[in-house]
Homo-oligomer: A and B are copies of this chain.
């Protein structure tokens, strides 16, 4: 396996995995790169090229075994185990994140949530204890956390990210609209609807 797989390819693998999981649940046994490409809006050649980074999954003209490809992707993506996640910021957005039912089935456990105003934010949240952000360092020292989700306002986000990193959290999912500054050993993904919308207006303007 080559060491350097382009990040754009890695970002597509979860999409492939989701699609294959759907095919599995519908009892589909074999799928072609054409069918995968049609479902994802990319060319079959792109599918074959992406998957070729990880070895030979399919035979020419015979398609991919859905079970085998899904299982390989599960291992490649590290989805064969569970991951510990903390959420910082339990405002309206943080509550929506905390209550999202999509994390648990995919192996992501939100083990703690934090806010500067824990009592106010706990109100009305079933099954969710919001801890005071001042306890973050102590908690991170007591338990290895894999991923930190940051859902605080923009002005507070970099400081929260710094504290998570100082506590040994090396993967950050950032919902705050800032370009987070992190050391090279830390990975950040940005969830940002405005950036997504602005990528679309580029095209809208051209058609207009």
Contact = CB atoms under 8 A, between A and B. Distances in A.
Contacts of A76: 202, 205
Instruction: Give this chain's copy count.
Output: 2
A198 interface: yes
A6 to B, nearest CB: 10
A169 to B, nearest CB: 11
Size category, A interface: 35 or more
A187 B200 contact: yes
Given A40-B179, A189-B200, 14 more contacts: A10-B202, A10-B203, A14-B198, A76-B202, A78-B201, A78-B202, A83-B197, A103-B194, A103-B197, A149-B193, A170-B204, A171-B204, A173-B197, A191-B191
Interface of A: 8, 10-11, 13-15, 17-19, 22, 39-41, 76-79, 83, 85, 92-93, 95-97, 99-100, 102-103, 106-108, 146-147, 149, 170-171, 173, 177, 179, 181-182, 187-189, 191, 193-205, 207-208
